[in-house]
Amino acid sequence: MHDPSTIITNILKHESKRTTYKFALVRAINDLALQYPHHPLIPSPVAIPLWMLARLWFAYFWPFVDPAMPIRQGHDQTDMAFREDLTYFRQQWQLANGEDSSAEGYYVTHVMATSRHTQHCPLELEELYQTCLRKLIKSLHQPIRFAGTGEYNLFQKPMTLAECPHATPLPQTQPQDLCLVVPFDLWQTFQQLSLHIEEVCLDQWCAFTHALHQPHHSVHLSTIHALLTSRPDERRMVIWERNQIDRLLLQGFTFHCPWTRKLITVNTPYDLDPIVPITIYPLVELWNLMPVDPIFNSQTKQDRLPSPLSLERAIPVLFVTYQHYWSSNVLKSGLKNDAERRFGNLDTYRFPTQLHHYTQDFIHQLATHRHLAQF
């Protein structure tokens, strides 16, 4: 393989495109490389299930199917093969939930991926969501096939995990799942140059969309960029989790803010805040949520990562917090599912201990790859 960074640059800047699919494919691989910085543990190709890529596409393309202001994503009359299905889902979702925004796609995928939330979701919406994913998976084959020069030059034709035994699968991948196999050196480049790749990808996606003829309205570059980078309201995403922690407080459990060590009891105001900010990692998983001092959170932490020193000091608090979550039958299930979705299988008997080590390593890897602001 030629220099991986040059290959990625060529895909984004120089290869021919009729749609924004190639931008979306590169962005999805880049996001997953960031979300799984500890994979693979040994040098090997990485197997990404197509449904995982499709979930990200669902969120990326959501802003462009606003019934009030659709934005074309290709030159051809049918710019996106899944536009009709995604538009219909967005309309039905808004009718059922009364909520809609350019970032709602991330919230939808969060709900649909989490059993504690899907139980409150109408079955019809779940079925419509699965229909969208199937259409998105089918569309993913096109940029996979034509990325690079020629057909299946950069990536092999998607195959089941069972057919690629030498690849390291991302957590939750099943043997029958159809996968994109990413060569190790390419995956490693995504991890090492994540921030640069994201910037180039977004710039090129915005420029391509801006140059398209929009039948009913023109769209400014800044608007396109805002749509592509919007993030959901984290407070809305953690309502269920906060209710469960409130129940623990009512039962007499106490927490400490990992950053200030402030005691949090049943009468103490607190924020339920992600360690890794939602602006960096637009997914809310229970292992990433901590009850924290609201003043410190708003004035100091904000959208920053803990520094190695801050995180080291916080480890005892993280461990106790995970123990509290683990002691709740309801939270235990959510914590286990969320952690294993991110880190793979953990030892049930050593779960809180293993989890705080994985969390510490995850944050360290993120900070290394993205050069993020820290406190």
Q: Last residue of a domain, which of 229, 248, 274?
A: 229
Digit-coded pLDDT (tens) for 122-150: 999 999 999 999 999 999 999 999 998 88
Q: Last residue of a domain, which of 171, 200, 229?
A: 229
Q: In the prediction, which pLDDT does 1 show?
A: 62
**Helical H runs in the chain?**
4-13, 21-35, 50-61, 83-97, 104-113, 115-118, 123-146, 184-192, 194-211, 221-229, 234-237, 239-250, 294-296, 308-327, 329-343, 351-370
Question: Could you tell me if 122 and 209 lie in one domain?
Answer: yes
Question: Could you tell me if 243 and 316 lie in one domain?
Answer: yes
Question: Could you tell me if 322 and 213 lie in one domain?
Answer: no
The total of other beta-carbon atoms located within 10 Å of residue 186's CB is 19
CB distance 171 to 48 below 8 Å: no
- Tell me, yes or no, if the pTM score tops 0.85: yes
Question: Could you tell me if 127 and 242 lie in one domain?
Answer: no
Question: Could you tell me if 47 and 189 lie in one domain?
Answer: yes
- Give the CA distances from residue 12 to residues 68, 148, 203, in Å, rounded to whole numbers and listed in that order: 29, 10, 9
Question: Could you tell me if 184 and 245 lie in one domain?
Answer: no
Number of independent structural domains in the chain: 2
Question: Could you tell me if 168 and 282 lie in one domain?
Answer: no
Digit-coded pLDDT (tens) for 82-136: 999 999 999 999 999 877 899 999 999 988 988 787 777 899 999 999 999 999 9
- DSSP 8-state secondary structure symbol assigned to residue 122: -
Q: Is residue 213 part of a domain?
A: yes
Question: Could you tell me if 240 and 315 lie in one domain?
Answer: yes
Question: Could you tell me if 181 and 213 lie in one domain?
Answer: yes
Digit-coded pLDDT (tens) for 286-324: 999 999 999 999 999 998 999 999 999 999 999 999 999
Digit-coded pLDDT (tens) for 10-47: 999 999 999 999 999 999 999 999 999 888 989 999 99
Question: Could you tell me if 222 and 279 lie in one domain?
Answer: no
Mapped onto helix, strand or coil, the DSSP state of residue 273 is strand
Question: Could you tell me if 120 and 77 lie in one domain?
Answer: yes
DSSP 286-348: GGGEEEE-HHHIIIIITT-BPPHHHHHHHHHHHHHHHHHHHHSHHHHHHHHHHHHHHH----G
